[in-house]
Amino acid sequence: MAVKKYNPVTPGRRWGSVSSFDEITKTKPEKALTVPLRKKGGRNNLGRITSRARGGGHKRRYRLVDFRYTKKEIPGVVEAIEYDPNRSARIALVCYQDGEKKYVIAPVGLTVGTTVESGVKVKIEIGNSMPLKHVPLGAEVYCIEMNPGRGAKIARSAGNSAMVDAKDGSNIHLRMPSGEVRLVKEECYASIGKVGNVDHENISHGKAGRVRHLGRRPKSRAVAKNPVDHPMGGGEGKSSGGRHPVTPWGKITKGLKTRKKKKASNNKIVKRRK
């Protein structure tokens, strides 16, 4: 999980850094647990671009990670720690006693040969999963469900974890990675520990080409565009826009509340992150 730097033989090498990949034990994925992943170029099902500056990038296959905790009450042994091109975290290949294999998110400290288990009466150990009502106060958890049975939604990326703050009736006070305190049902499953690959945030790409390999295209500044392309474009010489920052469609980009009242779960927030 260390960050590795090279001798500055080129400008890109001078500023770039990579992961050491020390924890990786297997280079090729389990073929039965992968599916093809088609590039969308930021387009939705109508063919319209909904996420700009997306496209290209290296070809990938999607790894089917078990976020729904389907193998309850069946112990499994970690066979390998693998790299996943679709996420910042590492994934672990677990072989269960019934012979079935699944991918799970690999936490800090999980090694090959470790036994992991998901269920109601399992030990409080790294990598084990259980309902939040059985997790002791102050424990770090990751891959947390927001609704029972819906699958893990919270704290899934590299170095992330949430903390069990308090227990309030049938709800658990969960301190999120952002600092927000949120109510989650006690039946929701979570895994003990912290997501691995903690040094991911310290990696510097070093050159534009590495970012293109990730499937991200260049973005133009709004004030550098023409008036036909953006409300802040145009002007004689270098102009700074002359108005508050807006989107290409004229909506304020900084500070405008976009949360929908009907769909929002504001009643679940105990303390906001700000």
| The two three-digit tokens of residue 204, written as one number | 């510097």
What DSSP string runs through 190-227? EEES-BS-GGGGG----SHHHHHHTTB-----GGGS-T
Q: What's the pLDDT at 258?
A: 84
Domain chopping of the chain, boundaries: 3-201
Q: What's the pLDDT at 264?
A: 77
Give pTM, 2 decimals. Answer: 0.91
Q: Which long-range contacts (CB under 8 A, 24 or more apart) does 20-24 make?
A: 21/83, 23/81, 23/90, 23/106, 23/196, 23/197, 24/81, 24/82, 24/83, 24/90
Among candidate residues 129, 192, 138, the one with its CA nearest the CA of residue 165: 138
pLDDT in tens, 205-244: 999 999 999 999 999 999 999 999 999 999 999 988 889 9
Give, in words, the CATH class of 3-201. mainly beta
Among candidate residues 87, 139, 168, the one with its CA nearest the CA of residue 128: 139
pLDDT in tens, 260-272: 887 778 889 999 9
